[in-house]
Amino acid sequence: MKKVIKIAASTAVAASAFVAAAPANQADAATNVNQLATDAQNAGTVLKWAISVEGSADYKTAPHAQYNAAKKAIAAAEAAAAKLSTSEKLNIDAKLVEPKLQVKRAQAYIDAITSSEKIQDLTSGLDAAIKTNDIEKVEAAYHKATAEYRKQAALLDRVYGQSTRDGIRNEVKPAIEKLVASVKNEVTVNMLAKAAAADVKAGKTADASKKVAEAQAILDANVLTWETSLQKSVDDVVTALPLTVSSVARVNDTTVVAYLSKPVSAVYASDFTFDNGLVATSAKLGTDNKTVTVTTTKQAEGKTYNVSFKGSSASFSTAAATPGNIAISSDDIHSELGRTEVVVATFKKDDGTPNRLPVKVTIPTGVVVTSVNGQLLEVAGTPTPATGVQNFTPNESGQLILVVTNAASATAVVEKVIDFDQNGEKESSQKLNFYTVTDAQPNTTTGVVSYVDAANNFFVAGNNKFKLKAIDTLQLEGSPTNLDAFKSKLSKGDIVTGDYKAGTASSVLNLYYDKPAGFDLEVNEKVLTDTTAIRVDNDYARFTGKGEVGKKVVVYNNATNAKVGETTVGSNGTWTVEVPVAAASTFAFYHHTEAAQPVPATKPATATTLRAVTPGEFTASNNTGSFAAAGGSADQSLNGDTLKLSVATVAGDKFKVASNASITLRDGDGSVVTLVNGQENTKIAYNSSTGKLDITFGYAAAVGGTTGGLQGGLSITDIQGVTNDYGLKLKTKGLSNIAGY
């Protein structure tokens, strides 16, 4: 059984110095508005059950009557409330929050149902087209049906509730997917054959050859309907193709593979000539009669070679010499001021042998190196620790063994790293920490635990290292306990207070706040850290997570410290809280109150605070304000061109790219092309150093339109598989045309 959590809103009105008697007509008006607000709430409840699986929702009937009734009731209450005082109007507004939310959810539900009805009609249309045995009619119906199906996927994202989304989807999904799958290969071959024929006419031999090869591979691997006519279409393109080398790929430093535009009966080494002194020594034709393995003299590193074949040419490049690999001792160091620790870096070449090239070592502020590979660092016989940037040479095993400590200071050194740079390859050491050990007295501010080493009986708080002893007097939230029990409960985020003694004397420590383990916050199915910024594309945020059974989760507005929602963790250890988000807001979460205890009216000091929760869609733009694709000539071909998109709105957003991400483009005459990440040299990736989405276009056939290929300005109609870190899909609205490709 699903639980429905309601968030009640209330408005407190300050009392004035005296109360004037309200006219009778005002009292009647207020009573009437309250009734209208109650009517709106009731209409919202009816609408809620009309779109709920626990109610009357059947995933195929749109509740227009209930939707219109709720909207009408809300409008009536708002119109009447407009005549009231500000405080009275705010009270009515609070009562209308829930019915307005149900109206918004119902709109999404109705839109999805409407799309489902269209899909059912288009599925019937595709079935009718298949029965005509006319591949052109099948292709047209196929694209129309699949386009609407993709559109429904976007509409379903707005529907509230996973089970509801699945129910609507399952009303149409099995039929259309089965029908689409039955003719997908036929439509693809037909599209490729037509696009390849257009490429031949335009002189784009390489593009045509790729499309023919893809179409033939589908024909060879499958038994297709209309196979005879489709094979003839492909064969006609092959006959029209001139014989050229379409591309060449390097295998190793003496072998390349050349791909011809069409089959041949024989090849010879003399057919292939190279520049930069490279010579072909043999040529072997593959079983497809189009792939040629060419053996060459030794190719130089970091070179680009052009190969010529019967008047055509292609090129390939060899990789530059690369530095070896760097391995670092991995465990973070948690030490004390004045102690020495060891950092080991191992350097290898690509073949696994030691790399003894000099290494530029950058030592961070607060850290010094006292010896390297067992050799004490000295100047004129005096020990002199190394600081700043140094050059060290690895030993015969390719290692740098550094003895490190803190610089001459009583200040703690926290989360520092040593950077290594060997011939351009860079790596950083594990994190180095040198903590202060004094008679520091932890309190609710300085006693927040940042690290625990239970095995070695210490924890860190406020950059101070606190060592636990068997003779210490220990408490768990005021109750006496022993050392093992204290350590078992101690974790990052807890607060420890008390009287600490660093020497042999007994300390008195109390685990003042035991931050519950497993308290996870989640929005849009993403688990959040304590400081994660959140984006929602609705005007509400729905938080879910895990917690301790029976404990309460309370949400506070971090700006006002007022409570905005609460719930109790269920028997399955999960909880859900939904709060409205009008603008950028921050919320704090408290999860330590027993169900029987009163909930704090204002935010406790130990509440977990999140960064801003911001409503708004995830969109992108181009930094320069125009979408001129770079990297290739203006040849009306996207192959090799690039596009860089930047996050357009909320700072802190970044792109998350699925392995099958895709981008769909359309030109002015209706030609459409979809390029998929990892297919035909298309690459869609997030560049962490620039914060941009880098799209390198490969090859894909354009379909539809009147020209059979892409021409003129291209609009971005869809981007799939690209979200922000919180699961919001990248929107294409506002993106300008691509030109200059």
Is the confidence at residue 18, as pLDDT, over 70?
A: no
Write down the pLDDT at residue 641: 81
Which of the pair, 652 or 499, is modelled with greater confidence? Answer: 499
Query: Is 221's pLDDT higher than 70?
Result: yes
Percentage of the chain modeled with pLDDT above 90: 25
Handedness of CA 448, 451, 457, 463 (dihedral sign): negative
- What CA–CA distance (Å, rounded) separates 355 from 394? 8
Q: Structure tokens of 69?
A: 């009734």
On the question of pLDDT at 276 being above 80, the answer is yes
Please provide the size of the chain in residues: 741
CA 284, CA 292: separation in Å to the nearest integer? 5
Specify the higher pLDDT residue, 393 or 610: 393
> Facing residues of 508 across strands?
473, 499
Angle at 704 between CA 700 and CA 709, to 5 degrees: 50
More confident residue, 261 or 332: 332
Q: What token pair was written down for 657?
A: 């790219």
Span 55-84, average pLDDT: 87
Full set of structural domains in the chain with CATH? 30-239 (no CATH), 242-317 (2.60.40.1220), 325-435 (2.60.40.10), 449-513 (no CATH), 520-615 (2.60.40), 618-739 (no CATH)
Question: Which of 145-159, 519-533, 651-665, 676-690 is the least confident region?
Answer: 519-533
pLDDT at 298 over 50: yes
pLDDT band (50, 70, 90) for residue 11: very low
Residues 663, 673: Cα–Cα separation, whole Å: 8
pLDDT band at 638 (very low <50, low <70, confident <90, very high): confident
Q: What is the per-residue pLDDT for 500?
A: 95
Query: What's the one-letter identity of residue 288?
Result: D
Average pLDDT over residues 88-96: 86
- Reported as a single tens digit per residue, the pLDDT across 301-359 is 888 999 999 888 899 988 765 555 888 987 899 999 999 999 999 999 888 889 999 99
Q: What pTM, to 2 d.p., does this model score?
A: 0.40
Of 227, 133, 237, the residue nearest 185 (C-alpha):
227
Token pair for 375: 């050799």
H or E element in which residue 674 lies: strand 672-676
Region 354-381 average pLDDT: 94
The pLDDT, as a whole number, for residue 503 is 86
Average pLDDT over residues 201-223: 82
d(CA 264, CA 249): 19
What CA–CA distance (Å, rounded) separates 579 from 556?
Answer: 10
Q: What is the mean pLDDT of residues 516-528?
A: 58
Q: Residue 707: what pLDDT? A: 63
Strand, coil or helix: 22: coil
Residue 522 reports pLDDT greater than 70: no
Report yes or no: 454 and 487 within 8 Å, Cβ to Cβ: yes
Confidence of residue 2 (pLDDT cuts 50, 70, 90): very low
In this predicted structure, what is the pLDDT of residue 475? Answer: 93
